[in-house]
């Protein structure tokens, strides 16, 4: 269900008519959050059955229309589509005349700034890029998780206060990110979150191979402590055989992983090299222990 409007929001009429193009996990939640902030969601689009179900749950009573109709009805149009679909969508909306001059056009992509919306800007749209730094389930639980969530905000200078205000209204915390740095910003977040899931899932699979029936119980305390240490102390939290320079242990790891999963072994070696470099630069790994370790990681037997 949508986030209940605050007393202040209920005391005034909706300030903007909001349209949501794409009721995926993020779009439906952001639309509901804007509705809870006092704006009025007037239209949305969703193609898949899952998207339509999310719209029904989070945006009840909102009509589902084609994207061009959604945008033409909105004073604030949220484009919640995959990164690679943004440019053709913006171009298509401009070509069919769906964008009215003065329409706030917001996308949620982490990768892109506002340049991707240029065809719509030429048609009179006011561009904003606001990216919430969280993963979405597409359920009402996400609404409460927006409280305190950082949002990357990129916009032309006159529109920055508007982007910041929208984020604050949804309970988030705006942080400016320059247009040129959006791809790097997104790579930093996606590399951490997506790689973490892959590494944990791989670890669980390997533990099952070892006969561990409840592998999550083994890794949960270890991963919780490691994440807490990394967030608090960065590279100084590094520990384990790579950070200690235990070349023999690392060699055995590479050998055993290679017998079970060459892909896992290759990932282990690549990450161990990066870990060794960072541990050495941070003073965690002693230089005299780094050389034999790096030889092992380079495939040079000692």
pTM over 0.75: yes
State how beta strands 104-107 and 76-79 pair: parallel
Q: Which two tokens stand for residue 246?
A: 């235990």
Mean pLDDT score of the chain: 93
Q: What percent of the chain has pLDDT over 90?
A: 93
Share of the chain above pLDDT 70, in %: 95
pLDDT in tens, 95-114: 999 999 999 999 999 999 99
Residues 300, 302: Cα–Cα separation, whole Å: 6
C-alpha to C-alpha distance for 62 and 207, rounded to whole angstroms = 47
List the beta bridge partners of residue 148: none
- Give the residue extent of every domain in the chain: 7-177, 185-297
Residues 6+ apart with CB under 8 A from 109: 83, 86, 116, 129, 131, 186
Task: Report residue 51's pLDDT band, with 50, 70 and 90 as the boundaries.
Answer: very high
- C-alpha 289/C-alpha 123 separation (Å) is 62
- HSE value, Cβ hemisphere, 13 Å, CA-based, for 285: 28
C-alpha 63: how far from its chain's center? 28
pLDDT on residue 7? 40
CATH of domain 7-177: 3.40.50.720
């Amino acid at each position: 269900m949508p986030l209940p409007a605050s007393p202040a929001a209920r005391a005034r009429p909706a300030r903007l008519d909001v349209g949501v193009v794409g009721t995926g996990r993020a779009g439906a939640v952001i639309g509901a959050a804007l509705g809870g902030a006092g704006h009025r969601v007037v239209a949305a689009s969703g193609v898949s059955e899952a998207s339509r179900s999310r719209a029904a749950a989070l945006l009840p009573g909102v009509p589902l229309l084609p994207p061009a109709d959604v945008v033409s009805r909105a004073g604030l149009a949220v484009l919640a589509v995959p990164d690679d679909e943004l440019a053709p969508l913006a171009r298509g909306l401009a070509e069919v005349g769906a964008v009215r001059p003065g329409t706030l056009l917001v996308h949620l992509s982490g990768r892109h700034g506002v340049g991707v919306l240029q065809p719509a800007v030429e048609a009179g749209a006011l561009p904003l890029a606001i990216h919430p730094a969280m993963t979405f389930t597409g359920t009402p639980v996400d609404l409460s998780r927006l409280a305190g969530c950082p949002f990357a905000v990129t916009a032309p200078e006159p529109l920055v206060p508007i982007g910041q205000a929208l984020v604050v209204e949804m309970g988030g915390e705006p942080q400016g990110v320059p247009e040129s740095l959006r791809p790097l910003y997104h790579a930093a977040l996606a590399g951490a979150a997506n790689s973490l899931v892959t590494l944990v899932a791989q670890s669980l699979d390997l533990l099952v191979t070892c006969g561990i029936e409840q592998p999550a119980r083994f890794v949960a305390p270890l991963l919780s402590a490691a994440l807490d240490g990394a967030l608090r102390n960065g590279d100084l939290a590094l520990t384990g055989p790579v950070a200690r320079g235990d070349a023999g242990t690392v060699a055995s790891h590479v050998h055993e992983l290679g017998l079970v999963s060459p892909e896992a072994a290759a990932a282990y070696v690549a990450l161990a090299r990066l870990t060794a470099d960072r541990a050495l630069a941070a003073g965690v790994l002693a230089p005299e222990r780094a050389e034999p370790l790096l030889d092992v990681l380079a495939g040079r037997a000692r």
